[in-house]
Structure 1
Amino acid sequence: MAAQDDPAATSIGAPVRARIDASLAPVDAALARRYPGDPGTRQPVHTVYVPADAFGARTVRDWGRQALDALDAHAPDAGALAAALGLAEGAAGEVYERVRAKLVREPVEDLRVDFEDGYGPRPDDEEDAAAVAAARVVADAVAAGGAPPYVGIRAKCLEAAVRDRGIRTLDLFLTALLRAGGGALPDGLALTLPKVTYPEQVGAMAELLGEFERAHGLAAGRLGFEIQIETTQAILGADGRATVARMIDAAGGRATGLHYGTFDYSAACGVAAAHQSPDHPVADHAKAVMQVAAAGTGVRLSDGSVNVLPVGGTERVHAAWRLHYGLVRRSLARAFYQGWDMHPGQLPTRYAAVYAFCREGLDAACARLAAYAGREAGAGGGAGGVLDEPATARALSGYLRRGLDCGAVDAAEVTERTGLGRADLDALAGRPPRT
């Protein structure tokens, strides 16, 4: 058959394709390095900050007990919680029971022992002792199986005035933790670098952690850290560039999260105290920049805190709960699946918001994912007239995985509705199976 009659005939030869491959090889390498995708591990729904002088062996249990006490006092049944928060009656019972069970089983998913704003300046010997004591409490909790899935510290920042103190606290904590753990660090160790303004500070933190790893024979890259976005310079530099993207790069693969700091950032923008909130326009702008900068990098996002605490009489508690619940739901809808909680009384509304968010969309997400999986297997069709693409299937799988991780839904519920197990969800999400 003549070449001109070959339906598979091509015009671009192998030498040209090889030349294109060679010219794009640096781009391929950069894409693989900078945008590895989500790590596939569990992301906590919140981070609890506890001042170092208030942290002890009973902290997590005390937070759970105080949260349950608040629920008993101000929403003793599902109807009361539904009325306080505006929950749909049909979902209220399931959400309420799951919240109570969560507060008993695992009230805190991520805990940060705070040596920064919540702790303040102290005599060196006092902070030294607190850093070592915190490490020993964490190590004991991990050994006993009573630690939160994620736990660590926030030391002082790397600005000149507190740099040496911050480095010393970090070193003391990690050294004591390693010794108490018999030469091993806990899997859920989390470190937070606050008040970052320049990428060079992130690079310095990465260098410090690398030095610690070398000093103790740990695997390179074992230690990662979160970057707190609390300054305007972290979003937009003096050169007009998006600083946060440069910070992720400066971390050299060690950045695990970007945490928005509601009040420091708002104050830096000149927002009056009465209007400093996670839903202020300056907050939305900062978080949108964070979101785009982190997309595809494997660096996760966390919203900030709410400073209106649920304390006092029931009317006042309900007002604070409604505010917190609404702001958490708003964050979830904007793909910020983690936030800060500063008081035990915020735990009921944190979990109520997350559980309601996960359960309200459960049937629709399962139907769409089942239809997508069936179409991939050759069954054809879509769910409710929606023809989902692989990217949406990844999002649907991620939605269900988050619900499973935090206890909002059960594996049996998902399998019954989709025919898919956890390994199937992992595969659809393009993530490695959990081990």
Structure 2
Amino acid sequence: MRVTTSHHVDGFEEVHAVQRARYPGAEPTWQPVHTVYVPADRFGAGTVAAWGDEALALAKAHLSGPGELAEVFGLPAVLATAVHERVLRKLATEPVEDLRVDFEDGYGVRPDEEDGHVEQAVEALAGMREAGTLPRRWGLRVKSFADGDPARSLRTLDGFVTGMVERAGELPTGFTVTFPKVIMESGLTQFAAFLRRLEEGLGLGRRLRFELQVEAPQTVLFLRGDLAETLGGRLAAAHFGVFDYTAALGLPPHEQRLDHPACDHARHVMQTAFAGTGVELSDGSLAASPASGSAADVRALWRRHAELVRHSLAHGFYQGWDMHPSHLVSRFATVYAFHLARYDSYRDRVHAWEERRAAGGGVLDEPATIKTLAAALRRADSVLG
């Protein structure tokens, strides 16, 4: 006999509505595997093509066939053949998936030149859009409010967005802005408020969104699930900044590396805070280029970069920063190998689950694992095309 005939939970509908809005648990969609940062004073309409040409030349010179790729990246022959073909095709057709014109650390402080470089960047990007060469994601990184001059940051953002709208007749799809070195949470609300005013002033038909850079220990302390909600849905992603973060912790210079345990902690906090929210995550970068053009130096750089990319992927960070054309080769080779290596086994396990049988090797998967396997397949499909 039941104790009561009423099983209504007071307030449940309201709480559940908040839960659905805060943690939509959206399925994986296309996300760029990298973001390429180019200082504004060195950016032009031909920059992306030049990066692709240099990366492709390096690949052809030092990875002339699948055998060389297998040796450099430690891949079995069959996998190396598939990866080699894909890397060459990618570098020739879409070497950069996500582009940022950098007005922050990579650019420096140039108060008398920044407006001019904004105009040059707008002209170059508008030309790329007309030519059909604008990356699927693109935008700029502005200066940090933490530097004490928010007006400079907002002036550059205003000039950039307004210029693109005027030059292109609209703000092309794929735009985002990166907001670096956030020390105080209030800076996020102030930045989001300016985006709203800019959006309304230009009469844009869609919401301007931004990426938060996690570059300080203080930032980690206010990451949480409702942050995107409090910012009006404007928070698109969180990107980890390895060098500012490790420097702020006082780590010695030779330990300022992406695979340091302190960086793992920050990444895990980012994952915990934004799990289920739809906020994308991106890892940081390797601040190195080949010591020379020799095969030994180029391959050494690729091996180290591949180690870091694999470390990111193993921790569930499917995007990172690339800072030099050589990184494109090791980025795409490592990412393609990661997704291709397990694709068939993942698919077989999902099929076994659907058919209510044990997978190969007697594996009995849990529902949560099957959900993860299916998500991994969708992510792989979006990356591999």
In structure 2, the CA distance between the partners of 1:55 and 1:12, relative to structure 1 (3 Å rule), is farther
Q: 1:111 aligns with which of 77, 99, 103?
A: 99
Q: How many angstroms apart in 2 are the aligned matches of 1:148 and 1:395?
A: 29
Contact 2:27 2:375 in 1 (8 A): no
In structure 2, the CA distance between the partners of 1:158 and 1:249, relative to structure 1 (3 Å rule), is farther
Q: How many angstroms apart in 2 are the aligned matches of 1:258 and 1:234?
A: 11
Shift of 1:383: 1.7
Shift of 1:308: 2.4
CA RMSD of aligned residues (A): 1.8
Aligned match of 1:228: 213
SS at match of 2:109: coil
Q: How many angstroms apart in 1 are the aligned matches of 2:189 and 2:243?
A: 25
State the AA in 2 paired with 1:293: A
Matched, 1:383 2:359: yes
Aligned match of 2:296: 315
Matched, 1:186 2:175: no
Contact 2:215 2:240 in 1 (8 A): yes
SS at match of 2:146: coil
Aligned match of 2:196: 210
Matched, 1:397 2:374: yes
Contact 2:223 2:273 in 1 (8 A): no
SS at match of 2:237: strand
Q: What number of residue pairs does the alignment pair up?
A: 383
Task: Show the 5 A alignment for 1:262-411.
Answer: 262-312=242-292, 313-372=294-353, 374-375=354-355, 380-384=356-360, 385-407=362-384
Aligned match of 1:148: 135
Aligned match of 1:164: 151
Shift of 1:246: 6.3
Q: How many angstroms apart in 2 are the aligned matches of 1:199 and 1:39?
A: 28
- Which structure has more RCO (C-alpha within 8 Å, separation ≥ 6)? 2
Shift of 1:152: 0.4
Contact 1:63 1:107 in 2 (8 A): yes
Q: How many angstroms apart in 2 are the aligned matches of 1:357 and 1:39?
A: 20
Matched, 1:30 2:18: yes
Deviations along 1:151-175, one digit per CA (max 9) or x if unpaired, are 0000101235221110000000010
Q: How many angstroms apart in 2 are the aligned matches of 1:199 and 1:30?
A: 22
Q: How many angstroms apart in 2 are the aligned matches of 1:331 and 1:258?
A: 14
In structure 2, the CA distance between the partners of 1:319 and 1:160, relative to structure 1 (3 Å rule), is closer
Matched, 1:17 2:10: no
Deviations along 1:88-116, one digit per CA (max 9) or x if unpaired, are 22211111111001100110110110000
State the AA in 1 paired with 2:180: P
Shift of 1:249: 4.4
Matched, 1:127 2:125: no
Q: How many angstroms apart in 2 are the aligned matches of 1:41 and 1:142?
A: 23
Contact 2:178 2:213 in 1 (8 A): yes
Shift of 1:389: 4.1
In structure 2, the CA distance between the partners of 1:68 and 1:390, relative to structure 1 (3 Å rule), is same
State the AA in 2 paired with 1:235: V
Q: How many angstroms apart in 1 are the aligned matches of 2:368 and 2:160?
A: 41
Q: How many angstroms apart in 2 are the aligned matches of 1:231 and 1:246?
A: 20
Structure 2 gap ranges (5+)? none
Q: How many percent identity over aligned positions?
A: 46
Q: How many angstroms apart in 2 are the aligned matches of 1:171 and 1:389?
A: 50
Q: How many angstroms apart in 2 are the aligned matches of 1:212 and 1:167?
A: 10
Q: How many angstroms apart in 2 are the aligned matches of 1:283 and 1:289?
A: 10
Deviations along 1:34-92, one digit per CA (max 9) or x if unpaired, are 11223643100000000001111111111110001111222222111221221222211
Q: How many angstroms apart in 1 are the aligned matches of 2:130 and 2:19?
A: 39
State the AA in 1 paired with 2:46: R
Q: How many angstroms apart in 2 are the aligned matches of 1:185 and 1:394?
A: 36
Q: How many angstroms apart in 2 are the aligned matches of 1:400 and 1:186?
A: 30
Deviations along 1:11-34, one digit per CA (max 9) or x if unpaired, are 542xx333x1x3223321221221
Worse-superposed segment, 264-273 or 302-311: 302-311
In structure 2, the CA distance between the partners of 1:132 and 1:390, relative to structure 1 (3 Å rule), is farther
Deviations along 1:332-387, one digit per CA (max 9) or x if unpaired, are 11100000000000111000100100111011011012223x33xxxx21322333
Q: Please give the TM-score of this superposition, normalised by the length of structure 2.
A: 0.94
Deviations along 1:111-137, one digit per CA (max 9) or x if unpaired, are 11000000011133x211211221232
SS at match of 2:177: strand
Contact 2:178 2:210 in 1 (8 A): yes
Q: How many angstroms apart in 2 are the aligned matches of 1:39 and 1:176?
A: 34
For the pair shown, the structure with the greater C-alpha radius of gyration is 1
SS at match of 1:277: coil
